[in-house]
Amino acid sequence: MSDRVKEVVPDLIYAIRSTLKKHGVTFEEYGAAMQYLIRVQETGEAPLFVDAFFNATIVEIDNETRKGTQADIQGPYYLNSEAYQIISERLPHRPIDENAQDMVIRGQITDTDGNPLAGAELDIWHSTPDGLYSGVHDGIDAKYCRGRVITDAQGRYSVKSKLPVPYQIPNQGPTGELLEQHLGRHSWRPAHIHFWVRADGRRDLINQAYFENGEWVGDDCCETDHLDLVVPELIENGARVMEVSFALDPVLVVAAE
């Protein structure tokens, strides 16, 4: 790591210095920027701040070495592996969501040559039908809208759940202020389903599926603009079907120095 720090950090500092020079930044503006950073720290928004502005860039870099399905940002609400019970039919939903719109998430996991991967694991998580994350917001039990599914002999999986909605990232603090007041943006993400896919000998894939024609698709505050998985609208028996298939790259072999 320390060699990488020596490689990357001087460039980073140089890029900031040259931006300050280009714009003739004053002492007053420099002080305001410092106060802003202190507020990011004091409000506990450091993870939100770096996620909102830089996470998608790291994902883009990661994707340069993928031939299969592209990765997407993880977001802050995966929790941990223990939050995922193996599900055979339906992700648990709160009793109050019983009448919310049904959704089926199904698809196939293959390698990059199209061979099915049996026994692959998908951790799936998404917001409740009113835009909250279990285990994070409003004391909602962490078991809701989360689960782990395992692919069958054909690499297929299918699970029912309830439809999520667009999600507004916290916008009351300094991150929202920068996005909305200074950058002229907004703080909304399109409705989405998160996936973390694992299979033996394959590179882990963290990504998200979006709903074609959904609000904010293509205009995500987190700038996930590669949108590999915008799923066409398909309704079966009143349920929105999300056909989401994944082609997993082989494990990345890092050349020995």
**Interface with ligand DHB includes 129 (CB under 6 A)?**
no
**Interface with ligand DHB includes 222 (CB under 6 A)?**
yes
Q: Which range in 1-9, 61-69, 73-81, 249-257 contacts ligand DHB by CB under 6 A?
A: 73-81
3-state secondary structure of 56: helix
Q: Residues with Cβ < 8 Å from 165, sequence gap 6 or more?
A: 127, 129, 130, 131, 191
Closest CB to Fe ion among 75 and 147? 75
**Interface with Fe ion includes 75 (CB under 5 A)?**
yes
Closest CB to ligand DHB among 68 and 190? 190
Q: How far is the CB of 118 from Fe ion (least distance, A)?
A: 28
For residues 185 and 191, the answer to whether their CB atoms sit within 8 Å is: no
Cα–Cα dist 144/128, whole Å: 8
User: Which residue in 89, 103, 97 sits closest to 235, CA to CA?
Assistant: 103
Q: How far is the CB of 170 from Fe ion (least distance, A)?
A: 12
Residue 174 CA from chain centroid, whole number: 21
**Interface with ligand DHB includes 214 (CB under 6 A)?**
no
**Interface with ligand DHB includes 169 (CB under 6 A)?**
yes
222 binds, among ligand DHB, Fe ion, none (CB under 5 to 8 A by kind): ligand DHB
246 binds, among ligand DHB, Fe ion, none (CB under 5 to 8 A by kind): none
HSE-up (13 A, CA, CB side) for residue 5 = 2
DSSP assignment of 135-189 equals TTSTT--TTTTEEEEE--TTSEEEEEEE----EEPP-SSHHHHIIIIIS----EE
- Site residues for ligand DHB per CB under 6 A: 48, 51-52, 73, 75-77, 167, 169, 189, 222
- Site residues for Fe ion per CB under 5 A: 75
